[in-house]
Amino acid sequence: MLEVPIWRCGHEAASLTTSVLRDYRGEPLARVHHAPALLVHRVVSRLRAAAPGPEEDPESRWDAIARAGELLTGSRLGGLGPEDHARLVTRATGAPLAWSRQALAELAGGLREIRSALHWQAPGGDLTVFRTRRVALPDGRTYAWVPAGRVLGFVAPSNHPTVHLTWVLALAMGWSVAVRPGSDDPLTPWRLALALRAAGFPAERIALLPGGHDLVPALVEACDRTVAYGGPVLADLLGRDARVLMNGPGRSRVLVDAPADPDATAGFLLECILHDGGRKCTCASAVLVRGEVPGLLDGLAGKLAAIPLLDPLDPAARVPAWKDPDAARRTPGRVVVHDGVTFVQPELVRCPDPFAPPFGLELPAPWATAAELPAGADPLPLLRGSLAVTLLTRDPGLVEACLTEPTIAKVFAGPVPPWFTEPGAPHHGRLSEFLFTSKAFREEGQPWR
């Protein structure tokens, strides 16, 4: 059986506490070694000592990360080739194989283009700030822009492999990172760490600490900053700690009030909902139609209902399997068991009252809600609280209202799906805004020289 070890600053370690990772049919895949919570502070101390000083040329770590991107999809790592890895991720998470392959390719591409990602993060897009820690204004004045700490904790989900680009971006910006992998996918961060080490990145700056919820408070306490993904339980656990950047359900939405072609628009909406098996937090979970658009929602409902339920290892599969049948049955979706595999049937649920449940409810599957508003109604109250909003509208005032709405993180005007992103682009703001701080700084005379 495959062994997924603890990764202590570049060195694999076994644990007395292990669990068996099973696939969507209940078959064993791997033995995962769990880190005890008492280990976290010791490991974070080592990570803190390994964080780079100002004398390190960041080009060297950027080059290593880019090389790791080549290795991720072109080499055997930990005894597994890229196709082996994609199939294991599919079996472990239930994600369709085509999406697992694509996600690994996207992750590798993000590593190869790490410099491009960093341009999003640097003030003014100037990468020299990562070397000088100084920002120069056009009139010659300067201020300091420095890390707010040395070690980032990362509480990873299992819904999509590309979330791991976030902690790699932190490594590129000079942080050390302690990752608690998602329970269903400890495989992706392990392969990623192996690729980084093989590419020459300082592996002593990376820790992988599989384990349960007991690790999360220890990570938050020991690390300077923590990025966490999870639902209401984890959000309640972390409270309102300012050191934590919490990523919960996306509740991403699409508004339509000006379709040029209802059938083409229905096809676009289908991809907004179905992309990556509907597992991303930016996949559309709600469609809001303002005004009369005859046939649009019926056409979209028909397209969703026609998607076949195939074993996730089938290259044509587009609907994810549910590893936990009981969790599937607790959703409002229609549960279907096909050939021993549990699915939630793809569906568009029409909501007579958009201000009442289930409008906006999000499932990790291609399942969405829809509602209609009369022409001229203000849709903003129904768009608030969204990670991403796509506006198919000719109303520039609505676009501006969404841009200035604090509870909407991303706004796309025109046929841009809510899951659209580029590595390093703002998600919940820029990662660097969370990891760095600006300081007043003035230097004159330099009497010590």
Query: Do β-strands 206-208 and 6-8 pair in parallel, antiparallel, or remain unpaired?
Result: antiparallel
Banded model confidence at residue 311, pLDDT cuts 50, 70, 90: very high
| Per-residue pLDDT at 233 | 80
What are the angstrom distances between the C-alpha of 291 and each of 69, 254, 375, 416? Answer: 47, 14, 4, 21
157 and 295 share a domain? no
74 and 145 share a domain? yes
What are the residues whose beta carbons fall under 8 Å from the beta carbon of 295, sequence distance 6 or more?
262, 263
- Reading phi first (left if > 0) and then psi (alpha if -120 to 50, else beta), residue 445 is in left
The values of phi and psi at residue 218, to 5°, are: -65, -40
241 and 291 share a domain? no
Domain around 347: 252-413
Task: Inform me whether the pLDDT recorded for 313 exceeds 60.
Answer: yes
Torsion sign, CA atoms 263, 413, 158, 216:
negative
| Per-residue pLDDT at 277 | 94
153 and 39 share a domain? yes
Are residues 359 and 381 in contact, defined by beta-carbon separation less than 8 angstroms? no
67 and 142 share a domain? yes
Structural domain contains residue 423 = no
Residue 314: which CATH number?
3.40.309.10
Condensed to tens digits (0 to 9), the pLDDT of residues 369-396 reads: 999 999 999 999 999 999 999 999 999 9
Condensed to tens digits (0 to 9), the pLDDT of residues 48-95 reads: 999 998 889 999 999 999 999 999 999 999 999 999 999 999 999 999
For the chain, what is the domain count? 2
- Residue 351 CA to residue 372 CA, distance in Å, equals 8
219 and 296 share a domain? no
Banded model confidence at residue 207, pLDDT cuts 50, 70, 90: very high
Q: How many CB atoms lie within 10 A of CB 349?
A: 17
Condensed to tens digits (0 to 9), the pLDDT of residues 96-130 reads: 999 999 999 999 999 999 999 999 999 999 999 99
What are the angstrom distances between the C-alpha of 69 and each of 58, 76, 88, 211? Answer: 17, 13, 19, 27
| Per-residue pLDDT at 447 | 59
What are the angstrom distances between the C-alpha of 215 and each of 13, 39, 88, 190? Answer: 17, 9, 25, 18
Residue 80: which CATH number?
3.40.605.10
Q: Where are the beta strands (DSSP E) in 9-133?
A: 11-13, 18-22, 28-33
349 and 244 share a domain? no
Token pair of 44 as six digits: 């974070």
The 3-state DSSP composition of the chain as helix, strand, coil percent (nearest 5) reads: 35, 20, 40
211 and 316 share a domain? no
**Residue 407 DSSP symbol:** T
Whether pTM > 0.85 for this model: the answer is yes
243 and 271 share a domain? no
Structural domain contains residue 446 = no
What does the pLDDT average to over 268-290?
Answer: 96
End-to-end CA distance of the chain: 61
